[in-house]
Amino acid sequence: MKQDIDLRINELGLILPPAPRPAGVYKPVLVVDKFLYVSGQAPILPDGSMIKGKVGADLNLEEGKKAARQVGLTMLSTIKTHFGDLNKIKRLVKVLGMVNSTPHFEQHPAVINGFSELMADVFGPDNGVGVRSAVGMTLPTNIAVEIEAIFELY
């Protein structure tokens, strides 16, 4: 049975931040055939500010994981704003998680779990879990985490 995603978000007590405006020449979301591609999203807080800092220096693992979860909330907001109905999403297919980290930090997958666990909570343990990559790098404007994703549509 297909669940109501907006109802699920309310049941979980989630607060979606404002969807960010594009910071360059790109589309926030793009539909091709039955797939919704979402551009890299940042950890936007409800007041519009961002979680910034390097994991392994400014932020610890748990703070990085919370930033990744916040990226998930930002992504849901972006999808609602630029695509519309979250109930048109069948499943999460692919995630690329990028962690702003120090060279010695090696727990990038554990950070990105913050995003993945949220998607599993929202879309279910099967449809909310897709394939994934998690890497470390330096991110623009010192944001803590950036994540892009591909969803399959009904």
> Are residues 52 and 141 in contact, defined by beta-carbon separation less than 8 angstroms?
yes
Q: What is the pLDDT of residue 71?
A: 98
> Are residues 76 and 123 in contact, defined by beta-carbon separation less than 8 angstroms?
no
> Are residues 43 and 53 in contact, defined by beta-carbon separation less than 8 angstroms?
no
- Strands of 3-112, DSSP E: 29-32, 35-41, 89-100
Rounded to 5°, the CA angle 92-142-82 comes to 40
CA distance 126 to 69: 18
Query: With b meaning 16 or more CB within 10 Å and e meaning fewer, what string describes 121-136?
Result: bbbeeebbbbebebeb
Average pLDDT over every residue of 36-40? 98
Q: Which domains does the chain have, with CATH numbers?
A: 5-153 (3.30.1330.40)
Average pLDDT over every residue of 60-81? 98
Q: What is the pLDDT of residue 53?
A: 98
84-130 pLDDT, tens digit each: 999 999 999 999 999 999 999 999 999 999 999 999 999 999 999 99
Verdict on whether the full-model pTM lies above 0.85: yes
Res 3 pLDDT > 90: no
